[in-house]
Structure 1
Amino acid sequence: MDGIFAYAITGLDGLAYGLLLFCVASGLTLIWGVADILQLGHGTLYLAGAYLGWWLADGGWGGLAAATAVGALAGAAVGGLLAICLRPLTGRHLDQGLATLGGAFVTADLLTTATGGQPLRAEAPLPGSVPLFGHLYPTWRLVFIGVAAGLATILVLIVDRSTVGATVRAVVDDEQMAAATGIRTRLVQAGVLAAGCALAVTVGVIGAPVLGPAPGVDTTVLTLSLIIVVVGGLGSIRGALLAAVGVGLLQTLGVLLAPAALVPFLLAAAMLIVLVARPTLHGRPA
């Protein structure tokens, strides 16, 4: 029985990791699906938010609120700047990817140099652990699961039920037709880019105690986010949520259950199975 509870705790870790990845990947899938921009700097935006959380939050609620506000504003500003700078590269996905990836590498190197290049521990406003299934589980991780689940619910409701969501879906489905009906598609695309970037930095702030700032975190987050976008379907929030939770559980429970020799191939094998079973991945928002 204790072994079952240990698996449950590991599954909870996977859920937390999956929800963190979803919050980052959801912005990426909307940016790619709505603004038609291959934004490869999303992992660095998360890393910048994590460093900001480590620097400003300092284990207090006031610091966390300040870091969250600064992160959201800075992320939105970066998104707006990208919308302007990448406009000449409209439709040129390779050039967009190279430009944003180059900027991401430079920013990540600057952050690493400024902080000494060592993994840093971000303090949570709620330190300590609570008893769960006979084990002690970090309090902040449970809080993060609740906050991230709330964000996921809000995103799904906005895309599914709101006028803003209907506008976003229209631009994803057929940009030219949306423009013909009077929708200002350029403004929608810029807004989505700003919101997606702001979300990535904000998640970095509140997720820093879960996945803290360290060299290489940006690459990991970007790689897994791209997998989630591809598997979940371009522009699909529901698809991204399912894919992110699956990736999170696979990265935790899968590693625990699979033979050691197969662990490096788990994610690739799972992705291949999904791609074969579902070859058409240019999803509509669901």
Structure 2
Amino acid sequence: MDWILVTEQLLNGLQFGLMLFLLAAGLTLVFGIMDMINLAHGSLYMVGAYLAAAVVGASGSFVLAVVVAMAGTALLGMALEWSLLRRLYERDHLSQVLATFALILIMNEGVRMIWGEQPLMLNTPAALSGPVELLPGLMYPSYRLLIIGVGLAVALLLWLGVTRTRVGMWVRAGASNRPMAMALGVDTRKLFTLVFGIGAALCALAGSLLGPLLAVQVGMGESILILAFVVIVIGGIGSIRGALVGSLLVGLVDTASRTLLPAALRLLASPEVASNVGPALASILIYVLMAGVLFWKPQGLFPARSG
């Protein structure tokens, strides 16, 4: 196991973690401010990926595809919040789970009706199709570096927006104490719609950027939604800082363990045992991490009142 392999996997984990952050940031704000469990959050990620693939196929411009996907998905998210989800805020969590699960089914079938059953192709931009030499002997795909850069930039902008703007102050107040924020005159209806739109746009950004690396297909949002919930539980519900730290932890643990753990087990056991046991252990490590964090800090690493 050489240093090049370890470094590549750490970079892959950083890239995956930052994409998880784009999903988890919107989800943690919706959950933290609105006390709303939105299982359809992953479906917005899927819609964003499909819109990006469709625009790339029609125009050939990847940048235009990302912009259209973010704008279209944000409008869809705000329309859903205005027409349906705001009616669930005062309902119990079971009602929210059932309603948003129904949205998953509706959106999956809607995508099938529009784009068909077969996965769409979303190719890497030609200018970013080659590798970049980061260190002597270390080549890394330039497109993955772009994803890391975009993820870090979005994280910085979100941090500045939440901590340095009036809207961010309202968001933090709503996450920490929603009744008090309402009593102080915060227009929670507009705030909720805005937060939902921002969360939907971040979902589309993640779907657009991960589309060339993963299959753009129906149901692609469900599996990554589970990881997004793990992230916000680890980081602390309602906390942007917690979502970032939790995303990086989950991304690094998940990516590195799937490659490095089987290789490490081969040093201690036969290749057959390592091949069977390694992936199984890797798949549960993020949940072991979540259990350990909750045992140590039941409210997550950075609950909303400190995030």
Please indicate, yes or no, whether the TM-score normalized by the shorter chain is above 0.5.
yes
Counterpart CA distance in 2 for 1:250 and 1:58 is 35
Q: Would the aligned equivalents of 2:235 and 2:241 in 1 still touch at CA under 8 Å?
A: yes
- Counterpart of 1:241 in structure 2 is 244
Superimposed CA distance per residue, residues 177-229 of structure 1 (whole angstroms, 9 cap, x where no aligned partner): 21222211221112111111122112212332233413442112111001111
Counterpart CA distance in 1 for 2:129 and 2:8 is 18
**Offset of 1:116 from its aligned partner?**
5.3
Q: State the identity as a percent.
A: 37
**Offset of 1:130 from its aligned partner?**
1.9
* Higher alpha-carbon deviation: 236-245 or 206-215: 206-215
Instruction: Pick one of 67, 73, 93 that aligns with 1:75.
Output: 73
- Counterpart of 1:131 in structure 2 is 133
**Offset of 1:70 from its aligned partner?**
2.1
Q: Would the aligned equivalents of 1:59 and 1:123 in 2 still touch at CA under 8 Å?
A: no
Instruction: Pick one of 146, 150, 171 that aligns with 1:147.
Output: 150
**Offset of 1:118 from its aligned partner?**
4.7
- Residue 198 of structure 1 aligns with an amino acid whose one-letter code is A
TM-score, normalization: structure 1?
Answer: 0.91
**Cα 1:272/1:188, change in 2 over 3 Å:** same
**Offset of 1:117 from its aligned partner?**
4.1
- Counterpart of 1:102 in structure 2 is 102
SS across alignment from 1:153: helix
Q: Would the aligned equivalents of 2:254 and 2:283 in 1 still touch at CA under 8 Å?
A: no
Counterpart CA distance in 1 for 2:116 and 2:167 is 42
Counterpart CA distance in 2 for 1:138 and 1:117 is 30
- Residue 9 of structure 1 aligns with an amino acid whose one-letter code is E
Q: Would the aligned equivalents of 1:41 and 1:100 in 2 still touch at CA under 8 Å?
A: yes
2:38 is the counterpart of 1:36: no
- Counterpart of 1:169 in structure 2 is 172
* Higher alpha-carbon deviation: 128-137 or 41-50: 128-137
**Offset of 1:233 from its aligned partner?**
0.8
Give the alignment of 1:115-126 within 5 angstroms: 115=115, 117-125=117-125, 126=128
- Residue 305 of structure 2 aligns with an amino acid whose one-letter code is R
Instruction: Pick one of 262, 271, 280 that aligns with 2:290.
Output: 271
- Residue 78 of structure 1 aligns with an amino acid whose one-letter code is L
* Higher alpha-carbon deviation: 9-18 or 98-107: 98-107
Counterpart CA distance in 1 for 2:164 and 2:204 is 25
**Cα 1:38/1:162, change in 2 over 3 Å:** same
**Cα 1:141/1:90, change in 2 over 3 Å:** same
Q: Would the aligned equivalents of 1:31 and 1:37 in 2 still touch at CA under 8 Å?
A: yes
Superimposed CA distance per residue, residues 81-139 of structure 1 (whole angstroms, 9 cap, x where no aligned partner): 22221222223222122212211123224435655545544212222222344243221
Superimposed CA distance per residue, residues 228-281 of structure 1 (whole angstroms, 9 cap, x where no aligned partner): 111111110000101101111111111223251422321221111111011124
- Residue 148 of structure 2 aligns with an amino acid whose one-letter code is I
- Residue 243 of structure 2 aligns with an amino acid whose one-letter code is A
Counterpart CA distance in 1 for 2:29 and 2:101 is 18
Counterpart CA distance in 2 for 1:271 and 1:177 is 31
**What value does the CA root-mean-square deviation take over the aligned residues?**
2.2
SS across alignment from 1:177: helix
- Residue 270 of structure 1 aligns with an amino acid whose one-letter code is L
- Residue 31 of structure 2 aligns with an amino acid whose one-letter code is W
Q: Which runs of 5+ in 1 are unaligned?
A: none
Q: Which runs of 5+ in 2 are unaligned?
A: 263-277
* Higher alpha-carbon deviation: 273-282 or 242-251: 273-282
Superimposed CA distance per residue, residues 64-85 of structure 1 (whole angstroms, 9 cap, x where no aligned partner): 2322232222222222222221
- Residue 207 of structure 1 aligns with an amino acid whose one-letter code is L
**Cα 1:53/1:285, change in 2 over 3 Å:** farther
* Higher alpha-carbon deviation: 241-250 or 215-224: 215-224
Q: How many residues align?
A: 284
2:249 is the counterpart of 1:217: no
- Counterpart of 1:4 in structure 2 is 3
**Largest Rg, 1 or 2:** 2
- Residue 272 of structure 1 aligns with an amino acid whose one-letter code is A
Counterpart CA distance in 2 for 1:120 and 1:135 is 32
